[in-house]
Amino acid sequence: MNDIALIRCEDYEIEKLRVAVRRAVDLIGGIASFIKPGDKVLLKVNLLMKRKPERVTTTHPAFPQVLAEMVIEAGGFPIIGDSPGGYHFYNRNVLESVYETCGMKEAAEKSGAELNYNTEVIDVPFHEGKKMKTIKTIRPVLEVDKIINIPKIKTHMMTVYSGAVKNMFGIIPGSYKAEYHLRFDDTADFADLLIDICQFSKPVLTVMDAVIGMEGYGPTAGKPKKVGLVIAGADPYVLDVVAASIIGLKSEQVPTIIKSRERGLCSGNLNDIKILGERVENVTVKNFQKPTVKISMNYYNIFLPKFLRKLLDSHIKPIPRFVHHKCTSCGVCEKSCPPHAISLKEGKPYVDLNKCIHCFCCHELCNHDAIKIKRPWFLRLLLR
Ligand code: SF4
Ligand code: SF4
């Protein structure tokens, strides 16, 4: 259960990826140990927004293509799906256009997988949840027998790192994600929520797209960075410990790992993990750029009492800054802001910092690089 496979893969050339993904899954027991004949299987990719694969924001389509082939060989029925972020209504038109641009339509055609078009939203009781006792989710999560989690390795301005556990946030339908951000505006609480969602959805297998990741201002405004790996494992918490370490993040820097450790879901220690294939020290990426502001903040965010965190937040948290000459006045940031802190004046966005919860959804969803993250002077002083 704790085994994690690391297999090198230099690029997304389909034959190379087929070999690498099969080798990785074989090392942890083979596809037949996860998928039984007749299983309906959701291939939960990361389709955060409508972007071409080369922008490295979304899971590369070669991954679901290869995994769908493997599921079919095992006698299963693969369905590719996710719910993109932002204010978009979760509807067939949005899904069609996201699937097309992100390469998922072609992946489905080539492999024989279905694409999910069922946009029904369901409330499901989840009594074991720490933060949520009812989870609002997309229909296919309930209709399938198994979920294969296919995240992309990235940095994240709010959660520091986006990997296996964070990818399951995509089962929350479209605009409801903003509501969850609003209710859990504290990073530590949000990390606990992400763990609830991962515990609820219980992916049986995670195969991470770590061929080309995103560094810096992830999950949408960072830069591509080669990692050159396929990472596979049954346990998403353990996989995140390994993947984060490969891009130079310690367990105590990643809120979801800190919280999964607290909840007894993993030790956060590499020495407790059986690693197959490559050795971590041979594949660690030097100089993978982290969202440093957020890392420095998470130490107090996690360990201080909530009232002190809130007090410090108002002086130390970075804020969104709009670059008006790059802004196309599309309005996505205004519609996506959970507490409605953004308003457009003469077509250009402005933020009310008294309402801002520093979730960076606006930064995440602006497709025009028109929102930067500004550090307050006090934080700049601290980080000198
Ligand atoms: S800042 Fe970005 S998301 Fe907001 S209106 Fe301008 S272009 Fe659109
Ligand atoms: S302005 Fe941006 S960072 Fe602030 S709450 Fe709105 S979406 Fe989040």
Mean pLDDT by 10 residues, the chain (384 residues): 93 98 98 98 96 96 98 98 82 94 98 96 94 93 98 93 97 87 86 97 98 93 96 98 97 96 96 97 95 54 62 71 95 91 95 88 88 71 51
Ligand 1 centre from 356 Cα, in Å?
A: 16
Shared domain for 262 and 330, answered yes or no, is: no
Nearest residue by C-alpha to atom 4 in ligand 2: 356
**297 lies in some domain:** no
Do 57 and 167 reside in the same domain of the chain? yes
* Ligand of minimum distance to the alpha carbon of 337: 2
Domain of 353? 304-383
Let me know whether 204 and 88 are in one domain: yes
**245 domain-assigned:** yes
Q: Let me know whether 119 and 215 are in one domain.
A: yes
CA torsion sign, 147 to 206 to 227 to 371?
Answer: positive
159 CA → ligand 2 middle, Å: 15
Residue 292 located in a structural domain = no
Number of neighbours of residue 200 by Cβ within 10 angstroms: 17
For 172, the 3-state DSSP assignment is coil
Distance CA 353, CA 260 (A): 31
Please give the C-alpha separations between residue 156 and each of 254, 294, 383, in angstroms, as whole numbers.
10, 9, 19
Same domain, 315 and 266: no
Site of tokens 């940031």: 333
CATH number of the domain bearing residue 84: 3.40.50
pLDDT in the model for residue 92: 93
| Final residue in a domain of this structure, among 220, 254, 283 | 283
- Which is it for strands 371-374 and 160-162: parallel, antiparallel or unpaired? unpaired
Q: Which of 294, 352, 360, 371 to mutate to test the pocket of ligand 2 (most atoms within 8 A of CB)?
A: 360
Residue 94 resides in a domain: yes
Same domain, 10 and 110: yes
CA-CA distance, 278 to 209, in Å (whole number)? 16
Q: Domain boundary at 254, 283, 312, which?
A: 283
Structure token pair of residue 294: 């957020």
CA atoms of 113 and 49, how far apart (whole Å): 21
* CATH number for position 351: 3.30.70.20
| pLDDT score of 181 | 84
Q: Supply the DSSP symbol for 55.
A: G
How many Å lie between the centroid of ligand 1 and the Cα of residue 344? 9
Q: How far is the CA of 118 from the centre of ligand 2 (A)?
A: 30
- The verdict on residue 132 lying in a domain is yes
Ligand nearest to the Cα of 354, by number = 2
Q: Report how far ligand 2's centroid is from the alpha carbon of 381 (Å).
A: 23
Give me the number of domains the chain comprises.
2
Which is the closest atom of ligand 1 to the Cα of 365? Answer: 3
Question: Is 293 within the bounds of a domain?
Answer: no
Residues 6+ apart with CB under 8 A from 128: 199
Ligand 2 environment, Cβ below 6 A: 320, 337-339, 341-342, 351, 356-362
Does a structural domain hold residue 178?
A: yes
Give me the pLDDT at residue 251, please.
Answer: 96
> Alpha-carbon torsion 259, 217, 297, 305, what sign?
negative
* 51 alpha-carbon distance from chain centroid: 15
Q: What's 284's DSSP letter?
A: P
Q: Is residue 184 part of a domain?
A: yes
Q: Are 172 and 129 in contact, with CB atoms under 8 Å apart?
A: no
**Inter-residue contact 341 to 352 (CB < 8 Å):** yes
A 10 A CB-CB count for 379 gives: 18
Give the per-residue pLDDT at 246: 98
Q: Ligand 1 — pocket residues by CB below 6 A?
A: 322, 327-333, 349, 366, 368, 370-371
CA of 346 to the centre of ligand 1 (A): 13
Q: Indicate whether 308 and 269 sit together in one domain.
A: no
Pair 217, 108 in one domain: yes
Ligand nearest to the CA of 360: 2
Q: What contacts 380, CB < 8 A, 6 or more positions away?
A: none
Q: What is the pTM of this model?
A: 0.85
Q: CA 375 to CA 384: how far, in whole Å?
A: 12
Q: In terms of domains, do 269 and 310 share one?
A: no
Residues 343 and 311 in one domain: yes
Q: From the CA of 313, which ligand is nearest?
A: 2
Shared domain for 208 and 110, answered yes or no, is yes
